[in-house]
Amino acid sequence: MPEPECAGEEIALFPLHTVLFPGGPLPLRIFEPRYIDMVRRSLRAHTVFGVVLMEGGNEAGAAPVTATIGTSARIADFNSLPDGLLGVTCLGVRKFHLRSRRVQSDGLNLGEVDWLAAEREIELPDEYQRLGQLLRKVLPELGDFYQAVAKRFEDSAWVGYRLAEILPLSLADKQYCLELDDPLARLARLSPLIQRPD
């Protein structure tokens, strides 16, 4: 189901110590009632929720400090885990700017968001072809996480998003990469971090 185009839409927020990129996987273990209810509502109404990086506070807190740029998430699959928690697999959909936030009585954060335009598709330039080839090799080695992810090895934005999420970057650097709106600038930032094979 396509996301609404209107500005100022209110969505549920899930503040996390992680950065979700468009098209990327996000496995979650859900145990708090407010998030179990959020998942139920998302499944029932086929809606997305927003994932934002926590910059202060903790996930159990009512109103942590978060980044203002996040990514909406769509639930792709769910199951009961052996420890009794709810396992949810999500996929990143689209970036948004968080305009304002409020907290419901159950502690769930809601945010008024403006949807950001999808990055233009740019064919992967010759100078970055090695990065696409690296992803072709590495993604199958990362287990089941990337099975549900559509593969676009020739798209500069897609390659940059995948590299930013799998490289061992600080959360601040990952957030910086998310906030960039130029796919080639993101690749230029990430390319020097990957050693060329001798």
Residues 63-99 pLDDT 10s: 678 999 999 999 998 887 777 778 889 999 999 999 9
Residue type, 95: K
Q: Which of 118, 120, 121, 112 is nearest to 6 (CA)?
A: 112
Distance of alpha carbon 70 from alpha carbon 181, whole angstroms: 13
The pTM of this model reads: 0.89
In this structure, CATH architecture of domain 126-191: Orthogonal Bundle (1.10)
User: What is the per-residue pLDDT for 148?
Assistant: 80
| CB contact set of 19 (below 8 Å; sequence gap of 6+) | 53, 71, 164, 165, 171, 174, 175, 177, 178
> What is the average pLDDT across 46-61?
80
Topology of the domain comprising 9-115:
2.30.130
- Residue 194 DSSP class: S
Distance of alpha carbon 11 from alpha carbon 112, whole angstroms: 7
> What is the average pLDDT across 3-27?
85
User: What is the per-residue pLDDT for 147?
Assistant: 84
Domain with CATH 2.30.130.40 in the chain: 9-115
Determine how many CB atoms are found less than 10 A away from the CB of residue 34: 17
Domain with CATH 1.10.4060.10 in the chain: 126-191
Residue type, 177: C
Residue type, 12: A
Residue type, 178: L
User: What is the per-residue pLDDT for 1?
Assistant: 39
Residues 104-151 pLDDT 10s: 988 899 999 999 999 989 999 999 999 999 999 999 998 788 888 889
